[in-house]
């Protein structure tokens, strides 16, 4: 006859699909009933109408059916009480988050936080961010993307992810696509609705995306900044002193000025510039194979020299790169051997090497009266 110990051992491999931890460890496993070959596993779900309850039922059933003596599995589900949800939030965030009036949240030491910036729009910064994230995730890294471009959010479409993140007890669970966890303003407002917010509201939104989202244990968090050096960039830098900054530019001569501005912003806000990626480097004719530097050349190299950092990659201008972004299939996944795919994968490997070779220290998220831009108006959810 099957024992409860055998059942519990088999259930160790069943993870909550949103939080990524064994259901027993986070208080979701209520009790187990065994009657002959019939097994009933009572499971708590975080909220009524949890969108992934069918997956939890299937995972529990699939874990137990192979066991000898198990003939039938039933998985009754019921939502957690307010007290249970609060206990789960405390467990995930740590008790220190509850104890401090001014919230201080640290990313784990192993998390490399990389702000992806550009001096101006239209250089393909979001496309580069999404492809670097997907390439890092494809190599087994735990990766998140914070789409901090609250006006021109495009990351959800480029990664092919849609829907509403689940939130409970003031904690937001990010959505996931291609192995990348994603949070974006695009999940909270319709795509055609303009976000007309001033500095304090933007500041609060970034604070929530960093502090109220349960990212889990990430290896990399890539933050797609809006173009320029405005409110959002300053807020993010104030929350994440010491984070790395990657500059995306094009080959045009003007890139030197763009790099100087980005470098000065990094210097003044305690971000650490670590590299430059040149996008739209050249165009290869699909018919004759001739290479054409239609946007000029040397901008990425000049930008890297100005900042005193390496040029991590030169990404060619190809139709497939743009098409992949339009249909939610990054080129590093869709066509990794293409010139653009291979260049982005190589750049992601360089990025990983640079960030992981430096001695890491926990990044502290600072929120409260002393934060830049102040203000606690508006909400991201």
Task: Assign residue 8 the CATH number of its domain.
Answer: 3.30.300.130
d(CA 140, CA 118): 28
What is the mean predicted confidence (pLDDT) over 274-299? 78
pLDDT score, position 42: 93
Q: Give the CATH number, domain containing residue 305.
A: 3.40.50.300
- Are 170 and 36 found together in one domain? no
Eight-state DSSP code of residue 213? B
Q: pLDDT tens across 81-100, in order?
A: 878 888 888 888 766 544 44
Reduced to 3 states (helix: H, G, I; strand: E, B; else coil), residue 351 is helix
- 264-278, 332-346, 364-378 — most confident range: 332-346
Residue 162 lies in a domain: yes
Domain that includes residue 32, residue range: 4-80
Residue 95 lies in a domain: no
Eight-state DSSP code of residue 94? -
**Can you list the alpha helix ranges (DSSP code H) found in 94-222?**
96-99, 125-138, 155-159, 199-211
Residues 6+ apart with CB under 8 A from 192: none
Whether the model pTM is above 0.85 = no
- Strand-pairing partners, residue 117, are 247
- Are 41 and 180 found together in one domain? no
Q: Answer positive or negative: Cα dihedral of 304, 119, 139, 141.
A: positive
- Are 265 and 336 found together in one domain? yes
The number of folded domains in the chain is 2
Residues 6+ apart with CB under 8 A from 230: none
- Are 33 and 127 found together in one domain? no
* Residues of the chain above pLDDT 70, percent: 71
- Are 168 and 299 found together in one domain? yes
- Are 149 and 70 found together in one domain? no
The beta strand positions in the chain, using DSSP E, are 29-35, 38-45, 72-74, 77-79, 104-106, 112-117, 143-147, 166-168, 171-173, 175-177, 180-184, 220-224, 244-249, 272-284, 291-292, 311-317, 364-366
- Are 154 and 297 found together in one domain? yes
Residue 73: which pLDDT band, with cuts at 50, 70 and 90? very high
Q: Is residue 210's pLDDT more than 80?
A: no
pLDDT score, position 381: 37
- Are 227 and 339 found together in one domain? yes
- Are 227 and 307 found together in one domain? yes
Determine which of 13-27, 127-141, 191-205, 362-376 has the lowest per-residue pLDDT on average. Answer: 362-376
- Are 17 and 146 found together in one domain? no
Determine which of 45-59, 110-124, 229-243 has the lowest per-residue pLDDT on average. Answer: 229-243
């Amino acid at each position: 006859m099957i024992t409860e110990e055998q059942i519990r051992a088999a259930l160790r491999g069943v993870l909550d699909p949103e939080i990524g931890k064994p259901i027993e460890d986070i208080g979701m496993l209520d009790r187990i009933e065994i009657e002959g070959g019939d097994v009933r596993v009572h499971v708590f779900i975080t909220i009524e109408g949890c969108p992934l309850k069918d997956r939890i039922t299937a995972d529990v059933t699939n874990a137990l059916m192979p066991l000898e003596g198990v003939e039938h599995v039933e998985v009754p589900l019921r939502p957690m009480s307010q007290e249970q949800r609060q206990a789960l939030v405390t467990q995930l965030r740590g008790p220190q988050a509850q104890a401090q009036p001014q919230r201080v949240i640290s990313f784990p030491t192993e998390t490399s936080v990389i702000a992806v910036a550009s001096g101006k729009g239209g250089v393909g910064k979001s496309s580069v961010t999404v492809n670097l994230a997907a390439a890092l995730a494809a190599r087994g890294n735990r990766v998140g993307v914070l789409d901090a471009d609250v006006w021109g959010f495009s990351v959800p479409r480029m990664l092919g992810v849609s829907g509403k993140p689940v939130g409970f007890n003031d904690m937001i669970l990010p959505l996931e696509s291609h192995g990348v966890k994603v949070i974006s303003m695009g999940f909270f407002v319709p795509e055609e609705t303009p976000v007309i917010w001033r500095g304090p509201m933007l500041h609060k939104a970034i604070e929530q995306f960093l502090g109220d989202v349960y990212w889990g244990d990430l290896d990399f968090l890539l933050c797609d900044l809006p173009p320029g050096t405005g409110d959002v960039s300053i807020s993010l830098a104030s929350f994440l002193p010491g984070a790395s900054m990657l500059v995306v530019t094009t080959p045009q001569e003007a890139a030197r000025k763009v790099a100087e501005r980005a470098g000065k912003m990094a210097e003044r806000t305690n971000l650490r510039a670590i590299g430059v990626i040149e996008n739209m480097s050249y165009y290869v004719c699909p018919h004759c194979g001739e290479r054409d530097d239609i946007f000029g050349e040397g901008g990425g190299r000049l930008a890297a020299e100005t900042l005193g950092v390496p040029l991590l990659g030169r990404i060619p201008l190809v139709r497939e790169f743009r098409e992949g972004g339009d249909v939610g299939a990054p080129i590093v996944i869709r066509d990794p051997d293409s010139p653009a795919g291979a260049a982005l994968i190589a750049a992601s490997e360089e990025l990983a090497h640079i960030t992981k070779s430096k001695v890491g220290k926990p990044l502290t998220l600072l929120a409260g009266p002393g934060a830049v831009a102040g203000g606690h108006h508006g909400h991201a959810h």
